[in-house]
Amino acid sequence: MKISTITKLASVGAVVACACAANAQTTVPTGLDVRLGLFMPSNSLASDLGSTWFGFGADYKLSAFAVSAPITGTEAYFGISADYYSHGSDSDIPVVLNYNVRQGQMIYSAGIGPDFRNSGDLTSTGVGIGEQIGVTYEFGKAPIPLFVQAKYFFSSKPELSGFGVYVGARF
């Protein structure tokens, strides 16, 4: 494993460890979520460029749109999610409308929307339709709740599809 990869993983681990300090229940998410982490491409062409890429993103809960919960004890809502992950001259910016289901401290999401590709090494620059699925665990009922999140991005170009692991804060 490269030193830079070890450094990135250690940094994410340190943030997760700090997040674990706040471990109380929290109420429904409101407003804005921001996250920072690593993206691991699932395509061998992309992973040959780098096994871990830098990634960050944000979600915004659309409180104005009421959604019925799929089962008792859950809450459902729509949100807008935008992410960015890159390595060198290759990047993808998926912007999706997510359907989220919250059960306790767990949030499950799935979404679809445009993804904006910029690529110098892998594929053409352009816009396509991408999807994503994710799961989030929220740690606390602090002034700013912290969370860890895992997402899988299905890019319109398979070369830019992959798995993201993030830590973040909910405002």
Number of H helices, E strands in the chain: 2, 8
- The torsion defined by the Cα of 148, 154, 155 and 156, in degrees rounded to 10, comes to -160
Spell out the domain ranges in the chain: 3-170
Q: How confident is the model at residue 139 (pLDDT cuts 50, 70, 90)?
A: very high
| Residue predicted with more confidence, 47 or 165 | 165
Is it the case that residue 110 has pLDDT exceeding 50? Answer: yes
pLDDT bucket at 135, cuts 50 / 70 / 90: very high
- The conformation of residue 76, written as its DSSP 8-state character, comes to E
Report residue 93 as tokens: 């910016």
CATH hierarchy code of domain 3-170: 2.40.160.20
pLDDT band per the 50, 70, 90 thresholds, residue 122? low
Q: Are the CB atoms for 97 and 115 separated by under 8 Å?
A: no
- Residue of higher predicted confidence among 47 and 60: 60
Over range 20-40, report the average pLDDT.
Answer: 68
Return the higher-pLDDT residue of 48 and 131. 131
Mean pLDDT of 74-89: 94
In this prediction, residues 141-166 reach a mean pLDDT of 92
Q: What is the mean pLDDT of residues 46-64?
A: 92
- pLDDT at residue 144 is higher than 70: yes
Q: How confident is the model at residue 26 (pLDDT cuts 50, 70, 90)?
A: very low
Whether 101 contacts 63, CB under 8 Å: no
Question: What percent of the chain is predicted at pLDDT more than 90?
Answer: 57
Mean pLDDT on 123-152: 91
Least confident of 8-17, 70-79, 132-141, 160-169: 8-17
